[in-house]
Amino acid sequence: MEFNWLSLSPHLILAGGALVLISVAVVGRRFAAAVAPYFTTAVALAAGGAAIWLWQHPATAWFGALTVDPLFVVFAVIFAATLALVALLSTGYGALEGSDRPEYYALLMLVTCAVAFMASATNLVLIYVALEFSSILSYVLVGYLRGDRLSGEAGLKYFLYGAAASAVMLLGFALLYGLTGTTDVGALAERLPRMALRFDTWGHATAVAPTEGLSATLSPVLFFLAFALIMVGLGYKISAVPFHMWAPDAYQGAPTPIAAFLSVASKASGFAVILRLVLALHGPLGLVYAGWTKYLAALAVASMVFAVVVGIVQRDVRRILAYSSIAHAGFALLGIVADTHLGFSSVLVYLVLYAAMNIGAFGVVAALGHVIGGYDLKDYLGLGRRHPVLAAALTVFLLALAGIPPLAGFFAKFYILAALLAQGYIFLAVVAILASVVALFLYARILKPMYFDVPPAEVEKPRRLSFAAAAALLICFVFTLAAGLWPHLLVSWAKAAVVPLLPNI
């Protein structure tokens, strides 16, 4: 594959769009603030269109450190769609009125560019730099509401957790480099199998024709430890238990559209790196795959069980959705544990469908926060009669997140369970089903006051939802319904992205 600058077009469009918006804001701030959400949406659509064009034009760049392939295209489309929807939803979010909006949208485009680099990076150094870039921008966005104490506190907590997780992941990268002498993922895949004949025990194995500069022995314990440390950083990115502590506070304190963005784009970027590493290093990982899959399975089970149990006692709707997001991260991890084409492709299907459902849910919550002025469950009393349209939309999104057929969430979970059962992981499938049942009660805690409780005596004056925000919610609503009726199109697309990278299983 030959490199040309067109292969970087999604990244360049996003970065260039941010620079253009900032430049326009310097000479005409009012004009930039007025056009910012729509300009951001146009940039997102252009970046997504460029990514789709690249499906048939794979390429590499920077001596193989960056790869543009169908797997990247899937994630680039997720990022672009998330950026467009969040930009539109931000127009209806009252807390952003009067703020430095051009910078807000420029930051959104830059963080989307950063996660796009994460999805295409095939070098440990570039992965780390892209992850740090996206994290730093995310800290700023979470704490963007300077006059809000919760927003500042959330940004600080997010920064502290992120810095610690990043340092641990960097240690894992350093350990992997020390074992192999390279940071290139492709070179790792070639060197690791040659370094050891077999690993019958958790001791040292004699190397077979070691590469020059590498040690003559390789410990599977160290190999496993390196990937376990890397998963600390990536687990923080996808908000998997026990690396989730930042998520509830960040989702509650951040502007709600930013919470929607983090719950989808940040999570998807973490899964992009996990899939990239697992698919590229599938053979070497087989050397310790029993321990590796048990590690991921433990993270998945802990995320699902812990999130639904703790989420039940929450009263802030944003925190409930935060724990819901943690549970969904655990569910998606099970697709990687399955270790099959169906399992890996089901993760892509899950992330695409989850994006529409979760952005829709957060979007309605953001709109309701602007309309009713609160996010506590008591603020949702009688909402079905006070605001029937928004209440109905939120009901559909919550039921989809719970996995009720024939909505999109049912098929997202169905393909994960099918991949598990095909490999004989009965226990994991049962745990996932039971967690989904308990999660239904989690969402019912929001639905109950909406439809079964009496509304307050004093009802707020109705406020109009912005046209752009309404359009974003409608897109999420239609996709959530349509994807549940025609999921096979998305499944075939996901398989086409995965199978070429792992043809031998």
Query: Is 90 exceeded by the pLDDT of residue 81?
Result: yes
Alpha-carbon gap, residue 107 to 358, rounded angstroms: 21
> pLDDT at position 181, please?
82
The model's confidence at residue 446, banded by pLDDT at 50, 70 and 90, is very high
Instruction: Count Cβ atoms within 10 A of the Cβ of residue 245 and give its class: 0-12 exposed, 13-18 middle, 19 or more buried.
Output: middle
Mean per-residue pLDDT, 181-206: 61
C-alpha 258 chain-centroid distance: 13
Burial letters 459-493, b for 16+ CB under 10 A, else e = eeeeeebbebbbebbebbbebbeebbeebeebbeb
The model's confidence at residue 435, banded by pLDDT at 50, 70 and 90, is very high
CA distances for 184 relative to 14, 67, 188, angstroms: 26, 12, 6
**Better pLDDT: 65 or 83:** 83
The strand ranges marked E within 3-109 are: 59-61, 66-68
The model's confidence at residue 460, banded by pLDDT at 50, 70 and 90, is low
As a whole number, the mean pLDDT across the chain is 85
Query: Is 50 exceeded by the pLDDT of residue 216?
Result: no
**What are 66's strand-pairing partners?**
61, 121
> pLDDT at position 130, please?
93
**Better pLDDT: 216 or 345:** 345
Answer whether 333's CB lies under 8 Å from 307's CB: no
Q: Could you tell me what percent of the chain has a pLDDT over 90?
A: 48
The model's confidence at residue 199, banded by pLDDT at 50, 70 and 90, is very low
CA atoms within 13 A on the CB side of 400: 30
Alpha-carbon gap, residue 251 to 268, rounded angstroms: 16
Give the residue from 366, 374, 311, 356 showing the smallest Cα distance to 476.
356
Answer whether 256's CB lies under 8 Å from 286's CB: no
> pLDDT at position 329, please?
94
> pLDDT at position 502, please?
76
Maximum C-alpha span of the chain: 80
Answer whether 469's CB lies under 8 Å from 367's CB: yes
> pLDDT at position 97, please?
59
Token pair for 231: 């998963």
Give the residue from 120, 148, 153 showing the smallest Cα distance to 12.
120
Stated as kind and residue range, the H or E segment containing 218 is: strand 217-218
Q: Which amino acid is at 382?
A: G
> pLDDT at position 208, please?
40
Alpha-carbon gap, residue 71 to 294, rounded angstroms: 25
First to last CA, the chain: 24
Q: What is the pLDDT of residues 224-263, one digit of tens each?
A: 788 889 999 999 999 998 988 889 999 988 888 999 999 9
> pLDDT at position 210, please?
42
Query: Is 60 exceeded by the pLDDT of residue 99?
Result: no
Query: Is 50 exceeded by the pLDDT of residue 61?
Result: yes
Q: Which amino acid is at 328?
A: H
Instruction: Count Cβ atoms within 10 A of the Cβ of residue 233 and give its class: 0-12 exposed, 13-18 middle, 19 or more buried.
Output: buried
**Which of 99-103, 108-112, 192-196 has the highest mean predicted lDDT (pLDDT)?**
108-112
> pLDDT at position 197, please?
41
Q: What is the pLDDT of residues 163-184, one digit of tens each?
A: 999 999 999 999 888 878 888 8
Query: Is 90 exceeded by the pLDDT of residue 434?
Result: yes
